[in-house]
Structure 1
Amino acid sequence: MTRWTPDPTFYPSPRDAAGAPAEQLAYVAAFDRSAQKPDAIAVVDTDAGSDSYGRVVGWTDLPHTGDELHHFGWNACSSALCPTAPHPHVERRYLIVPGLRSSRIYVIDTKDDPRAPRIVKEIPAEELAAKADYSRPHTIHCGSDGIYVSALGNGRDGGGPGGIAVLDHTTFDVRGQWEAERGDQSLAYDFWWHLTRDVLVTSEWGTPDMIEDGINPELLLGRRYGHRIHFWDLAKRTLVQSVDLGDQYQMTLELRPAHEPSKEYGFVGVVVSVEDLSASIWMWHRDGGEFQVTKVIDIPAEPAATDDLPPALQPFGAVPPLVTDIDLSVDDKFLYVSCWGTGELKQYDVSDPFHPVEVGSVRLGGIVGRVPHPSFPDEPLAGGPQMVEVSRDGKRVYVTNSLYGSWDDQFYPDGVGAWLAKIDVGGSGGLTLDPRFFPHGDEFRGLRVHQTRLQGGDASSDSYCFPSA
């Protein structure tokens, strides 16, 4: 008799996931800013005992040019064990990889040879537009009932509304648009959920015509980028509540809900305040049945000499932190905040989420600092810690340095290069750069690097339905 068991990388609770074995490989999105060469998925060895540790050991070119790989995700994860819509026999084997500029979506199989993943399906932009009326797919999350894909624009003209499309778990066909009733929501960016509470949360950046040519000073100073977050009924697919952080807080980007399913709070990062160039972190939480959003971290801009600044910042005489990614460890203890402008990764103890305490920091790159990696002290770095990924056990953090092609060019006009760094985490906090792990430059074949996914799962690609206690 055939015996079916769930994928061993699925875990019912965050506590179980935190005890998972260490990742052996990392998958990294690499893109060609000039759109002359195909984008690729690079495979990096993360096994500290391997002779090829910290090196690119695999490479999969895409079949087209001009995709601009950005965020991507696994087809299935621990949410497959949720009792409301269980899919325990799917496997975490496919990477769902969208092209942010092309609106194509690739399905890439990592199972047969994890170091040589192969493309098994391509979803053309026309299918996404025809079946869901969306374009510019951005973020992937594996839900218990399908694969969710956020999109920044509609499928017709590069404007809004943006929202969420759903793919079938088995065929990867586009099922359609997720929203049944969206109210006045138009801008889109990230999304995530509290599965056991039937709550989905979305954030706002801008429509494709607002972002694709770089940050628009008129839109920024006119406070027209996103500054709200939205709370939805996950089962009914309807908008329930929107909270405006204030229009000076431009670009509410990454959402990181608590992993523990008994908790109903999370964090959102704000890129910049137009009043003082600071960045900030806000926490959503329930209060009397309604959601409230409270600012819990302020990160000020750093003064700088005008001659050291790119043209876009010279009128301000300062470097904004530009918080462009955050990540929360699986045990909900540490929040990592990337300050891409100043070149800093900050670590906060958020055991008390209303009162974060900074406990660690490292600097690499930065608009002014250009801080080198300690293993290559004579190589000033451009870019800064941007995309952040945390291992399931919370002991390792990976950061890449490119934000988005046109935005890279504005803030780092002499180029950002390409690098991936690994940072070790102390038991009570504290960050230390791993001197043995720093693939960069030619290892990425002239491409820039963005998001990292870890083999077997990571802190930002799993949702859990069973409590740890």
Structure 2
Amino acid sequence: MLESLRTDPTFHPSPKLAMEAEPEHIAYTALLSPDASRPDAIAVVDVDPASASYGSVLYRLDMPNKGDEFHHFGWNACSSALSPMSGHAFLKRRYLIIPGIRSSRIYVVDTQPDPKKPTISRVIEPEEVIRKTGYSRPHTVHCGPEGLYISTLGGAGDGTQGPPGVFLMDCESFEVLGQWEIERGPQKLHYDFWWNLPRDYMVSSEWGLPPQFENGIVAEDLLGNRYGHQLHFWDLRARRHVQTIDLGANHQMALEVRPAHDPTREYGFVGVVVDTTNLEGSIWTWWREGGQFHAKKTAVIPPEPADASVLPPLLKGFGAVPPLISDIDLSMDDRFLYVACWGTGELRQYDVTDPQNPKLAGSVRIGGIVKHAPHPNGTSFGGGPQMTEISRDGKRVYFTNSLYSRWDAQFYPDGIPGRMAMCNVGADGGIELDGRFLVDFGADYGSHQVRLQGGDCSTDSFCYPSA
């Protein structure tokens, strides 16, 4: 009884305290069946370098349904439970909330009593999600002080009946409660979202509606600049839209948003997949000053010339490989921003100590549409660095290689067998692929989001400054 009334030891008031916590020993990785011939799964991976099974799959939890398309997932609770506004001080980081972005089904997976053998606790069917929220295609999961926030990519029906948005779930009963927005304003598309809890604002980004991604990238929509290119800012407590920043229609697909972890720092980053005028990818810094939000392009990554004969059909007419920035992640101390260039097969590390002036600090190459760089142990690596996750202490950066099943086939027609790799981080920057760590999930699975035991750099929201 007393144990249940203690604060979860993996919750930390500040980013600095989180960095001092015990390193992770296992990771949970989302696996998807590209052709939906088998159920998606969650793999439990040994990430303890002292273990005899380091870099291997300890267990795989298969789902009871096919066709879910696992993508992003999150914990039921995190350090945001320590907020003065929270009524859930004794929550535990125990359950993984796993949406299927094709099926609109949500799984609640229990990692206790044995974290290495999780079990399915509850399945929330798509009919309940759509009936209670008017949304479909659930995507990003964040735990807040009052409950679970889940972003969506579609409205009801085929995903085009009404705009997508965010809905709330109870973090203890897992009941779907309803739409989060009270005043939506001009927001019509959705992708990622995150917040600064003490400053009471949220930022969201845009991808596209289900017809624009579920059957692959729509080239006409991309060249016509019809994918998302705006940032939206919200009053978190009032659930009200307050400002839109348009990055320019040529900056197609503004995806991951990463606010600074220290809540005294009112800035963050967003990655843009491609500029349709020149194929470059870009990083934008957004910040609040004088009560208004601002954003500017602070780093660009150029395309790499390539012979059309080695390019997939989608890119042959361009004679180049775009970097295709598919994910970014920010270290817990707000020092390093990692940028996954899924097209060129590069993972970049930027020093963002000055958030207005990112400086390239490190880079590794693996996979890539043209270069096909192998892992240091000689194993081939399909795809390129994609979903990225950083350990709390900032010393390890894990990544997988699948973007989205239909897009994988367009950009990498030879297939992308599921892999997970890891970089070690130098004390003063620089990254190097770990030659001992390469997880092979097999040709039947794509691999996507990674969650680390005890929390990671895209899971936790902090309520107190680092001392």
TM-score > 0.5 by shorter chain:
yes
Distance 2:157 2:399 in 1: 35
Tell me the matched-pair count: 465
The residue that corresponds to 2:126 in the other structure is 125
2:416 maps to amino acid: V
Distance 2:443 2:166 in 1: 33
Matches within 5 A, 1:62-461: 62-159=63-160, 160-375=162-377, 377=378, 379-440=379-440, 443-444=441-442, 446-461=444-459
Worse-superposed segment, 402-411 or 81-90: 81-90
Distance 2:136 2:330 in 1: 28
Distance 1:181 1:444 in 2: 46
Question: Displacement, 1:444?
Answer: 4.0
Which aligned runs of 4 or more in structure 1 are off by greater than 3 angstroms? Answer: none
Q: Is the 8 A contact 2:417 2:443 kept in 1?
A: no
Distance 2:415 2:244 in 1: 38
Unaligned 5+ segments in structure 1 are none
Question: Displacement, 1:155?
Answer: 2.0
Distance 1:374 1:345 in 2: 15
1:70 maps to amino acid: H
Q: Is the 8 A contact 1:137 1:151 kept in 2?
A: yes
Worse-superposed segment, 379-388 or 88-97: 379-388
Question: Displacement, 1:79?
Answer: 0.2
Query: Deviations along 1:322-373, whole A, 9 cap, x unmatched?
Result: 0000000000000000000000000000001011111100011000010000
Query: Deviations along 1:95-131, whole A, 9 cap, x unmatched?
Result: 0000010000000000111111000000100000000
SS for the counterpart of 2:64 is strand
Distance 2:351 2:461 in 1: 21
2:145 maps to amino acid: S
Distance 1:270 1:230 in 2: 15
Q: Is the 8 A contact 1:302 1:319 kept in 2?
A: yes
1:411 maps to amino acid: F
Distance 2:103 2:72 in 1: 13
Q: Is the 8 A contact 1:232 1:241 kept in 2?
A: yes
The residue that corresponds to 2:31 in the other structure is 30
Query: Deviations along 1:396-429, whole A, 9 cap, x unmatched?
Result: 0001000000100110011111110011000000
Q: Is the 8 A contact 2:352 2:359 kept in 1?
A: yes
Distance 1:339 1:449 in 2: 16
Does the C-alpha gap of structure 1 residues 62 and 31 become closer, same or farther in structure 2, counting only changes over 3 Å? same
The residue that corresponds to 2:51 in the other structure is 50
Distance 2:195 2:37 in 1: 38
Distance 2:343 2:2 in 1: 55
Q: Is the 8 A contact 1:30 1:444 kept in 2?
A: no
Question: Displacement, 1:157?
Answer: 2.9
SS for the counterpart of 2:349 is strand
1:453 maps to amino acid: R
Question: Displacement, 1:288?
Answer: 2.5
SS for the counterpart of 1:129 is helix
Distance 2:155 2:381 in 1: 37
Distance 1:36 1:171 in 2: 32
Query: Deviations along 1:153-212, whole A, 9 cap, x unmatched?
Result: 012232141110110011001000000010111100000001111101100000111111
Question: Displacement, 1:86?
Answer: 4.0
Distance 1:218 1:306 in 2: 20
Q: Is the 8 A contact 2:321 2:343 kept in 1?
A: yes
Distance 1:374 1:400 in 2: 16
Distance 2:119 2:158 in 1: 32
Worse-superposed segment, 71-80 or 279-288: 279-288
Question: Displacement, 1:445?
Answer: 6.6
TM-score, normalised relative to structure 1: 0.98
SS for the counterpart of 1:136 is strand
Distance 2:428 2:298 in 1: 21
